[in-house]
A and B are shown apart, each in its own frame.
Chain A
Amino acid sequence: MLAEALARHRWWIALTLLGIAAAAVVPFVLMPFHVRVGQMILLSTGLGLAWTLLGGFAGYWSFGHTAFIGLGAFAAGLFEVNALGTEFMRTDPLLGFALGLLAGMAACAVAAALVAWPILRLRGIYFAVAMLGVAQVLSELTNSIEAFQGSLGLVLPRIPAFGLRTEAVFYYLLLIAAVIILAIAFLVKNARIGQGLAAMREDEDTARMLGVPTERYKITMFVLSAALTGALGVIYAHSLGYITTGSVYRTDFSLNMIVYNLLGGIGTLVGPLIGAAIMVLLTQVVLGSFLNLHMFLTGAMLVALVVAAPKGIMGGLAGTWQSWRRRRTAAP
């Protein structure tokens, strides 16, 4: 199954490898600002892909995935500061960061596994709203419980730079993370589970009747998606260096993950990249220096997007491509 998929997508894979190689040289040729923009694009792509594991593949749209960005960030930060301690982080920052990353991912996976069974019984809008609620609960608790330091803020230990500039370090970390998530998404999509999920997305009850273990599949995707989102949260938090509740539990993170997918094309693998690149370039580069209108323009773009390109750019392209082929074959 996998070998066949690899063969079928060989051009895409070659293109992706080329893209990764090109992305890897970016910090050496572009200005730091553009590296930071690249960092945001990679983060957003990774988030979009992690979201799509559940939202795009299984059709469970989470409106509260920022829960795992925040949980990952705070779990890792508190683990590094309190469990490992400043001394450990100073002598072996790399190991410390790696352990923190694992702690953050583990916290997200455990939390997701705990709520998965009851929450995944909900469908459609009810699941979306429940996830929004989960994010709010975690955010409020982080803010209100003294030990979590959400309101005072948490200063995260620095991680080694290997002689690179800070933004380049995080750029590479996010590049690696995004590539890994992309690979996972590719494997899932082309494995047995991926087909089961596709069936589920179309009609969950029928899929279950036909013997697809829907319960197990969706719980797996939920936990996987949460852990990967958490990993990105950990890296993001370290790139800021200091976080409060408000910097990692952000409703706009949750909504943007959906926007990237919708804009690029939901359920596709290249969609989140296209969506993230367009959104980040527009909001932070093109609209960056608009002092008081950028929010209005971002909102207007969202509206225009859903109305004008309801299937996203990939969906739109695919549609055009098919109708073009149809016309060609129809022509005598």
Chain B
Amino acid sequence: MLAVQTIADGLVLGGLYALAAVGFSLIFGVLGVVNLSHGAIVMMGAYLTWFVWHTTGLDPLLAIPPVMLVLFAFGYVYQRGLIQLAVDRSSLLASMLVTFGVALMLRNLLVLVFSPDFKSITPGYAFNYLRLGEVTIDLVRISALAASLALLGALAWVLNRTRIGRVIRATAQQELAARLCGVNARHVYGMTFGVSAAFAGASGAILGIVLPFAPPDEANWTLNAFVVVVLGGVGSPSGALLGGLVLGLISTATSQLIGPAFPNAMMFLILVLMLMVRPAGLLGNAFAASR
């Protein structure tokens, strides 16, 4: 029975990891930029949701759309105003340092605005649980998993079925060709970054409901995103989902079998091994086909 519980816990956790990483994966796949401020954007989402819930009492899950909208705008401006400038003037690797600098600034701003205290979002249903036989899972984690899957599905739909999605994919695969077809590549990069930030914000909202959070947590969410992307593959929601679920399972199984102190070590060990064996991740790079 313990094994079933472990698997259930792992899948629930994995859904969260997946959503928190999908934006990171998208930027990496389309722009080639490693966004070290990803975790900070996740935390911004958590804090904005907390703020809305705390001041208006609005259900945190309902706060997700406005939070996504705000962060979309933030992401677009951030890319057009700063990242693009850094990539043009320096290199992709150096742009990583820009994002690290921004992460420091955002973390400091969160401390100044919201104080360093941890915050937690506890809607009425935060303490209920489901029991199926001997497997117990809290309701809030189940709703988090459901929301994560719904959002990942929505992103997959946007990327595969809408005009902007097609343009993003086209630009990622062949920037020059896309431009020749009249695509404004810079605008597309901005949009991609905006979408990524919006989904980071949504995952922040959902994480905020599940876990207490504080500004320094941002570093963990950036690192988790790394592992998820390397495991699953770059650029696609399905890659992030697979990576997230695998990571969740590894995490709970390690703590059950080896010891609760070891999931992080195992997580990064698998990251390194995976890179050595199959650097493009289990599903490969979604955009690499024609490169």
> CB within 8 A of B100: which of A119, A130, A134, A302?
A302
B265 touches A296 (CB 8 A): no
A126 touches B279 (CB 8 A): yes
In angstroms, how far is the closest chain A Cβ from the Cβ of B162? 29
| Binary A-proximity of B78-95 (CB < 8 A = 1, otherwise 0) | 000010011001111111
Known A-B contacts A299-B103, A303-B82; A122 and B93 likewise in contact (beta carbons under 8 Å): no
B100 touches A255 (CB 8 A): yes
- Interface size class, chain A: 35 or more
Of the stretches A4-12, A137-145, A228-236, the one at the interface is A137-145
Taking CB atoms, residues of chain A closer than 8 Å to B98 are 302-303, 306-307
A129 at the interface (CB under 8 A from B): yes
A125 to B265, alpha carbons, bound, how many Å? 21
Secondary structure type dominating chain B contacts: helix
Taking CB atoms, residues of chain B closer than 8 Å to A63 are 96
**Considering the complex, which residues of chain A in the window 91-144 have a beta carbon less than 8 Å from any beta carbon of chain B?**
115, 118-119, 121-122, 124-126, 128-130, 132-134, 136-137, 140-141, 143-144
A251 touches B107 (CB 8 A): no
Given contacts A140-B265, A298-B104, 11 further A-B contacts (CB under 8 A): A115-B272, A119-B276, A124-B93, A126-B279, A133-B226, A255-B97, A295-B107, A296-B112, A305-B101, A307-B90, A310-B86
B97 touches A137 (CB 8 A): no
In the complex, which residue of chain B has the Cβ closest to the Cβ of A134? B272
Report A's interface with B, CB cutoff 8 A: 61, 63, 115, 118-119, 121-122, 124-126, 128-130, 132-134, 136-137, 140-141, 143-144, 251, 255, 258-259, 262, 292-293, 295-296, 298-303, 305-307, 310
B104 touches A299 (CB 8 A): yes
In angstroms, how far is the closest chain A Cβ from the Cβ of B37? 9
Taking CB atoms, residues of chain B closer than 8 Å to A295 are 104-105, 107-108
A292 to B97, alpha carbons, bound, how many Å? 22
**Considering the complex, which residues of chain B in the window 58-95 have a beta carbon less than 8 Å from any beta carbon of chain A?**
82, 85-86, 89-95
Identify 21 residue pairs between A and B in the complex whose beta-carbon atoms are under 8 Å apart, listed by A's number.
A121-B276, A125-B93, A129-B226, A133-B226, A133-B268, A137-B265, A140-B268, A144-B261, A144-B265, A255-B97, A292-B112, A296-B105, A296-B109, A302-B98, A303-B98, A303-B102, A303-B105, A306-B90, A307-B89, A307-B98, A310-B91
In the complex, which residue of chain A has the Cβ closest to the Cβ of B40? A299
| Binary A-proximity of B34-59 (CB < 8 A = 1, otherwise 0) | 10000000000000000000000000
Tell me the count of chain B residues lying within 8 A, CB to CB, of chain A: 44
Known A-B contacts A122-B276, A130-B275, A307-B89; A302 and B97 likewise in contact (beta carbons under 8 Å): yes
A259 to B104, alpha carbons, bound, how many Å? 14
The 3 closest A-B pairs by CB, nearest first: A302-B101, A299-B104, A140-B265
In angstroms, how far is the closest chain B Cβ from the Cβ of A78? 18
In the complex, which residue of chain A has the Cβ closest to the Cβ of B85? A307
B101 touches A301 (CB 8 A): yes
> CB within 8 A of B268: which of A137, A262, A306, A310?
A137
In the complex, which residue of chain A has the Cβ closest to the Cβ of B270? A133
B275 touches A126 (CB 8 A): yes
In the complex, which residue of chain B has the Cβ closest to the Cβ of A135? B268
| Binary A-proximity of B248-291 (CB < 8 A = 1, otherwise 0) | 00000000000101101100110110011001000000000000
